[in-house]
Amino acid sequence: MAQNRKHLANAPDASDDPPFDLPEAVREPELGPSLSSRALQGAAAPPYLSALNPEQRQAVEALDGPVLVLAGAGTGKTRVLTTRIAHILASRKAYPSQLLAVTFTNKAAREMKERVGDLVGGIVEGMPWLGTFHSIGVKILRRHAELVGLKSGFTILDTDDQIRLMKQVIEAAGLDKDRWPARQLAGLIDGWKNRGLTPDKVPAGEAFGFASGKGAQLYAAYQRRLKELNACDFGDLLLENLRLFLEHPDVLADYQRRFRYMLVDEYQDTNIAQYLWLKLLAQSSPNLCCVGDDDQSIYGWRGAEVDNILRFEKDFPGARVIRLERNYRSTGHILAAASGLIAENKGRLGKTLFTDGHMGTKITVIAVWDDEEEARAIGDDIERMQKDGQRLNEIAILVRASFQMRAFEDRFITMGLPYRVIGGPRFYERQEIKDAIAYLEITANPANDLKFERIINVPKRGLGDTSVKRLHELARAREMPLYQAAQMIVETEELPGKARHSLAGLVANFERWRGQVGHMRHTELAELILDESGYTAMWQADKSPQAQSRLENLKELVRFMHEFDSLEGFLEHVSLVMDADQAGDGERVSLMTLHAAKGLEFEVVFLPGWEEGLFPHQRSLDESGQAGLEEERRLAYVGLTRAKRIAKVSFAQNRRNRGLYQSALPSRFVDELPEAHVEVLEAKLPFGGAYQNFAGPFGRSRFDDVAPFEATYETPGWQRAQERTKTRARDEWSPAKARKARRPTTIEGELVAASSGAPAFRPGERVSHQKFGAGTVADVDGNKLTIDFDTAGRKRVVDSFVARG
């Protein structure tokens, strides 16, 4: 390795991007084998290669021509990608700047950068074309912006801005904005852009769905507005690239020559626009290597086209397909269960994972009464494992939909079990962060109308719709940005005195702040702006429970800005990278959606909520039929294959969904698991107080009259799940009887809880909780308290964890 590093360090200056339009002959890296590489050739394979298994090695060494690496879950996909990059560089096939490596997320790009860096040393700094589709798209677009009707400094709209702009477009077209919501139009346009469709290419039939056929016109109008604002939305970053390439073959040819080797991560997630983009670039010298797994394609609903990966061999004639099937992550039973399940899917390229490791324990399936009991059972399970030395960081609960998380959070809070939610609302998506960024953005770039509109009346400064409308009229008439219009309008009598005064104040503030750019540290300036604008004060005055954490977030934002050396640098980063690392310290159980879990792995994985309608989700079936079902099944596959050692599936017979308590059938996926690898568990008796709903202080519950389950639950999965419960009961099993039998336990549980000596609390009392600290009791419901915590916000907790004072 050390040898290798040295060798690479001697390569031509990595950061030296060959001038773009240099003739081919000059740019050609005339790198005869260096002394060290010749020495290496005489030796055995470089160490980075010998660490690979034969298939991985094949995937790394097949450098020329199109290659599809079908990398099953846990087969070392990232290792192959990074080693391949290292190999290309080490064998001097290309300069770092001639490698194109695309990922979907910034996180993946970052990881790849790091891992390549580990392999080859700092040379990766010279890989300017390693990034997300979008970041690379921006880079290209900024170089040739004029060719597609933009200026190089164009701004990138986030979703909020996009919706705001679309609202304006809809209203400008004289349409009722309530009847035709901007959100829906945004969805349509996004979909078209994902498919590489410009307004003129939108199929007539589809455009008809919106505003009685005006869909495509609105799309066109929206695009015009974007150009006027010198702005792009995310979809444009690729779409405009396509246009650039198609309308300017010379530009395309330059990039084709430049990118000698191309690598694509998660190819199964590419949409049509991305596919077209790759296809154009790969046209002349298709050293294109795509890595992916058709079985893990779970983003069809946002435009990903599984077909891209299924068709690879046809799209790129002569393509080699290399399968990575040796799994290094999971035990035999887990792999077999996952493989058995996914085998139900029709449209697959097909691969079978195997492991040299142990069979391990079978995956388990358990039926629980309802979502509350599910959370309770899993919570208890985790506590037990924790006692046996299982680290919480290695435990995850993967749910289909985020509303399922609440039951777990409630339960874990009550238990005092530390957890973290992954993939919740992102840092940059929070209101306070977006507002703050809007202030910073306008300071740097006053022409950003949408950002200006965002904060013109935040905090409230008496500039309502009417004033904003005036501003718009003026800006339109003079064809100038809103900000400039504001500067102008305050010199006139157009606005009522109060509004005029406060707008003048705002403009004066921005002018002063802008004067400070470059004279003051950008972090200090940010603090100054947040302060002087009254934005911080607004949240300080807010007495809602989240206000405190919003202020924390603002501080965090400023802290984060330290990593950049200028305001502009920070803003450029922010516009693309809607992604900040969640500070995740300490031992915690992870709670996330199945989608968020892709690419992660845990020792222990809980898979709750395997019920028809929830998983597979009804909506997915309704909207996409068989394809939807298969995607849901892939989601199940992704979930199972996250587990290294233990996977536990559960389903509830009743679930509180939208305020409604409804009975549910076990998911068909439960029955599709191969029996040989599954152990059906009984729900433990006594039910740990699970039936509070039935035997609270009010005796019989409304659920007592629900029809007997036997009538409804006849699937093999259900029967299997019930089998042992039946034997246990030594009597003919019936839900009613079972419930009756359990009732005393429950009552006991209630009694124990009620008589545990916990003092009754009253609303308004000051209390403290071991986990959340001090707070004020807002409401008392039996032994459950609702408390407004000073820092943690409003939570429901059990009184036994609460002390006075």
Partner DNA sequence: GTTCGCTCACTTTTT
Partner DNA sequence: GTGAGCGAAC
Catalytic status, residue 441: no
521 is catalytic: no
DSSP state letter for 683: P
Closest distance of CB 217 from DNA, Å: 22
Report if residue 638 touches DNA, rule: CB under 7 A: no
| Contact between 462 and DNA per CB under 7 A | yes
Site for DNA in 580-609 (CB under 7 A): 592-593, 595-596
The residues, any chain, with a CB within 8 Å of residue 366's CB and separated by 6 or more, are 377, 648, 649, 650, 651, 680, 681, 682, 683, 721
- Dihedral through CA 369, CA 364, CA 393, CA 798, nearest 10? 20
426 binds DNA (CB under 7 A): yes
Q: Is 620 in the site for DNA (CB under 7 A)?
A: yes
Closest approach of DNA to the CB of residue 40, in Å = 37
DSSP state of 565: S
Residue 78 appears among annotated catalytic residues: yes
- Structure tokens given for 668: 């068909």
Q: What is the C-alpha separation between 607 and 612, in angstroms, rounded?
A: 14
Nearest CB to DNA, comparing residues 62 and 421: 421
Helices (H), 229-330: 234-247, 249-258, 272-281, 306-310, 312-315
The candidate with the shortest Cα–Cα distance to 259, out of 274, 278, 231, 246, is: 278
The window from 121-129, 371-379, 551-559, 651-659 that contacts DNA (CB under 7 A) reads 651-659
Please identify, among the stretches 43-51, 459-467, 519-527, 686-694, the one whose residues bind DNA according to the rule CB under 7 A.
459-467
Q: Interface with DNA by CB under 7 A: which range of 250-258, 395-403, 479-487, 667-675?
A: 395-403
Cis peptide before 697 (omega within 30 of 0): no
Q: Measured from the CB of residue 759, what is the shortest distance to DNA in angstroms?
A: 25
Least gap, CB of 338 to DNA (angstroms): 19
Find the catalytic residue in 3, 27, 58, 78.
78
Q: In this complex, which beta carbon is closest to DNA, that of residue 141 or of residue 324?
A: 141
Active-site hit among 266, 435, 611, 799: 266
Q: How far apart are CA 525 and CA 168, in angstroms?
A: 32
Among 95, 154, 180, 234, binds DNA (CB under 7 A): 234
Q: How far is the CB of 563 from DNA (least distance, A)?
A: 17
Rule CB under 7 A: choose which of 578, 627, 729, 780 binds DNA. 578
Segment contacting DNA by CB under 7 A, of 17-25, 45-53, 88-96, 612-620:
612-620
Residue number with CB closer to DNA (48 or 180): 180
Pick one of 86, 188, 342, 463: the residue that binds DNA (CB under 7 A): 463
CA distance 380 to 386: 10
Q: Which residue of 401, 488, 520, 528 would you call a contact of DNA, by CB under 7 A?
A: 401
The residue among 92, 168, 99 whose CA lies nearest residue 131 is: 99
Convert residues 2-41 into a mask of x (bound to DNA by CB under 7 A) and - (unbound). ----------------------------------------
Cα 754 from Cα 744, distance rounded (Å) = 15
Residue 57: what residue type? R
Q: Is 403 near DNA (CB under 7 A)?
A: yes
The string of DSSP letters for 187-230 reads HHHHHHHHTT--GGGS-HHHHTTTGGGTHHHHHHHHHHHHHHTT
Would you count residue 457 as binding DNA (CB under 7 A)? yes
Q: Which stretch binds DNA (CB under 7 A): 32-40, 208-216, 456-464, 776-784?
A: 456-464
d(CA 696, CA 782): 10
Does 466 interact with DNA (rule: CB under 7 A)? yes
Give yes or no for residue 702 binding DNA (CB under 7 A): no
Q: Token pair for residue 631?
A: 């995607």
Which structure tokens are listed for 48? Answer: 């980075």
Residues 156-215 that bind DNA (CB under 7 A): 159, 178
**Strand boundaries in 288-406, DSSP class E:** 288-292, 320-324, 363-370, 395-399
Candidates 375, 298, 331, 373; CA nearest to 636 is 298
132 is a site residue for DNA (CB under 7 A): yes
Reference 92, options 58, 41, 134; nearest CA is 41
Closest contact distance (angstroms) between CB of 644 and DNA is 22
- Rounded to 10 degrees, the C-alpha dihedral 441/446/448/452 comes to 80
Q: C-beta of 31: minimal distance to DNA in Å?
A: 34
Cis-peptide into 616, omega within 30 deg: yes
500 is catalytic: no
Q: Is 547 in the site for DNA (CB under 7 A)?
A: no
Minimal distance in Å, beta carbon 498 to DNA? 8
664 residue type, one letter: A
The distance of closest approach from Cβ of residue 173 to DNA in the complex, given in angstroms and rounded to an integer, is: 17
Give the total of residues touching DNA (CB under 7 A).
43
- Count the Cβ atoms, other than its own, within 10 Å of residue 176: 10
Residue 787 in the binding site for DNA (CB under 7 A): no
User: CB of 419 within 8 A of CB of 590?
Assistant: yes
Q: Binding of DNA at residue 106 (CB under 7 A)?
A: yes
Asked if residue 404 lies in contact with residue 368, where contact means CB atoms within 8 angstroms, the answer is no
Active site (annotated) includes residue 461: no
Q: Among residues 57, 75, 77, 449, which one is catalytic?
A: 77
State yes or no: is 434 an active-site residue: no
Q: Counting contacts by CB under 7 A, is residue 409 touching DNA?
A: no
Q: How many of the other CB atoms lie within 10 Å of CB of 411?
A: 21
Interface with DNA (CB under 7 A), residue from 53, 78, 217, 402: 402
Per the residue annotation, which of 83, 103, 296, 746 is the catalytic one? 296
- 658 near DNA (CB under 7 A): yes
Our CB check for DNA shows the closer of 29 and 496 to be: 496
CB 215 within 8 A of CB 206: yes
Considering only CA atoms, which of 28, 76, 87 is closest in space to residue 54?
A: 76
Of residues 62 and 578, the one with the C-beta less far from DNA = 578
The verdict on 693 binding DNA (CB under 7 A) reads no
Binding to DNA by CB under 7 A, coded x per residue (else -) over 507-526, reads: --------------------
> Whole-angstrom Cα distance, residue 171 to residue 222?
11
Helix (H, G, I), strand (E, B) or coil at 158: coil
* Contact pick of 464, 515, 518, 763 for DNA (by CB under 7 A): 464
User: How many beta carbons lie within 10 A of that of residue 277, not counting itself?
Assistant: 23
Give Cα 233 to chain centroid, integer Å. Answer: 18
With contacts defined by CB under 7 A, name the span among 131-139, 361-369, 699-707, 724-732 that binds DNA: 131-139
DSSP category for residue 759: P
Does residue 134 interact with DNA by CB under 7 A? yes
Nearer to DNA, 585 or 781 (CB): 781
* Closest CB to DNA among residues 31, 580: 580
Q: Is 174 left (phi over 0), alpha (psi -120 to 50) or beta?
A: left
Q: Identify which range of 56-64, 645-653, 655-663, 728-736 contacts DNA by CB under 7 A.
A: 655-663
- Is the separation of the CB atoms in 561 and 437 below 8 Å? no
What's phi and psi for 20, nearest 5 deg?
-65, -45
Secondary structure of 38-50 in HEC code, one letter for each residue = HHHHHCCCCHHHH
Nearer to DNA among residue 60 and residue 136 (C-beta): 136
Site string for DNA, 284-303 (x = CB under 7 A): -----------------xx-
- State how far the Cα of 284 lies from the Cα of 256, in Å rounded to an integer: 7
Q: Which tokens is 214 given? A: 């005006």
616 or 735, CB closer to DNA?
Answer: 616
Using CB under 7 A as the binding rule, whether residue 668 contacts DNA is answered as: no
Q: Note the residues at the interface with DNA (CB under 7 A).
A: 104-107, 132, 134-135, 159, 178, 234, 301-302, 400-403, 423, 426, 457, 460-467, 499, 576-579, 592-593, 595-596, 617, 619-620, 623, 656, 658-659
Task: Cite the active site residues.
Answer: 77-78, 265-266, 296, 642
